[in-house]
Amino acid sequence: MPLSPDRRLQLRIACALALVIGVNAVVLSVLAWGVHRGLSASGHAIQFDLGLPATVGAVLLGAIGLVAVQARYGSKRVVADLETEPIEGDGPRDVGARVRRLAKQADVPVPPVAVADRDEPNCLTIGTQRSPTVVITTGSLKQLDDDELDAVLAHEIAHLANRDLTVVSAVAAIVAIGDRLLERERTLREFLVSIIVVAFYAIAAFWIILLLAAPFLVIATLFIFVSAVARLLLAVNAITIGLFAKTREHAADRGASELTGDPAALASALETLSGDDRPNRDARLDASATLGIVPQSLSVDRSDDGDEEGWFDRWFVSQFSALRENISNYSANEEDSATPEWRDQESTTAEWREPDYSADDEPKSWIVEPFVESLVSPVRNRVRRLLSWRPATHPTTEARIEQLQTLEWRRRN
């Protein structure tokens, strides 16, 4: 039975696209205003007399063109590090044949299929609505049984039938930009902390504080700007994803159930894909999590790869972090070397021993600790939770399984 697009989802997609176009229009307007002000300050101003309607129209056309580029290249750029191998013929476990059968059943063009050599079980669709590619990981091929594999592939075919790939690709591109800005924000924050610590230890050397004042002000200004833009994009992404993400996945789940006639198989597949033994990396930090059937990151984690350290991290952040560590170690060594002479003298009555403080039995100040525990720690924890908050890209697995159980009950009755 051919699948028809979900009308409720189409309305939400239209609202999400309107919001994405509006965000791009604002960005283009700010860039155009900045360029115009810069040229005016340099005495090379360019006069435009298009009128308000023509100006608004030009900005909207530019925004639509930018969204079209994001929709075309967004999903592929997000998973650029994901090495995929196109399937010729049926492929492993007859994946190609399964997709062809499901696509014909849903009355949608048969998409190419590729396999990604990743242990994380997931399945996603990349590309554009006119030229999509269904990508499945080797982890999915190993862990899913035949019925579950059919259900997962039917879920991706349902996305094509619902025509939601354009908006999710554009949103994924914006989420990727926000992710990179948040990474820069964390880097700048670490740099600022390093400068403050170095200045604190070098408080006696006034010239060092004066030397660090200028870079501190520059980095602080850059940090405030990057943080503001990143948080603004995060808010926009939260609104955009909230408009269609959950409805999108629920609609695809219903479509997959119609294609396979087995909602229980998809529910079982979701439980398998959303197992508890997944990597600890928070998928909400990654734009690739918006594309898969489950919110599992599919990008390469380069956090432990020292060779990929950028020039800013290598020449600035790392240097100040190393200097901060060296100063801390030097201060600790100075304290250890300042041992009273009486400690080294032998005594006939008693022998002096260094107090042995364990991690849970450290000396604490009765003045400072109550203040820290009651006031500072709660505020610090709330700030950390606020800074680490990210919008959910998918409905919860429990909610999806509950919907599928309802569909299974209706099918049997």
Specify the pairing of strand 123-127 against strand 132-137.
antiparallel
Q: Which of 120, 148, 156, 249 is catalytic?
A: 156
Bridge partners, 137 (sequence order): 116
Show contacts of 240-244: CB within 8 Å, 24+ apart. Answer: 240/16, 240/19, 240/20, 240/171, 240/174, 241/171, 241/175, 241/290, 241/391, 241/392, 241/393, 242/391, 243/12, 243/15, 243/16, 243/19, 244/9, 244/12, 244/13, 244/15, 244/16, 244/164, 244/167
- What number of other Cβ atoms are within 10 A of residue 161's Cβ? 22
Scanning 261-396, the segments in alpha helix (DSSP H) are 263-273, 311-312, 318-337, 368-371, 377-387
Show contacts of 137-143: CB within 8 Å, 24+ apart. Answer: 137/298, 140/273, 141/92, 141/93, 141/95, 141/115, 143/272, 143/273
Taking the C-alpha atoms of residue 21 and residue 65, their distance in angstroms, rounded to an integer, is 9
Block residue for tokens 């010239």: 207
Q: Are 255 and 88 in contact (CB under 8 A)?
A: no
Two tokens at 286? 């990654």
Ranges assigned E (strand) in 41-167? 84-86, 113-116, 123-127, 132-137
- Total residue length of the chain: 413
Q: What are phi and psi of 171, to 5 degrees?
A: -65, -40
Two tokens at 63? 């925004």
- The percent helix, strand, coil of the chain (3-state, each to 5) is 70, 5, 30
Q: First vs last Cα of the chain: how many Å apart?
A: 20
- What number of other Cβ atoms are within 10 A of residue 294's Cβ? 24
309 included as an active-site residue = no
Q: Are 34 and 185 in contact (CB under 8 A)?
A: no
Q: Please give the helix or strand (H or E) that residue 167 lies within, else none.
A: helix 165-201
Q: Active-site residue numbers?
A: 156
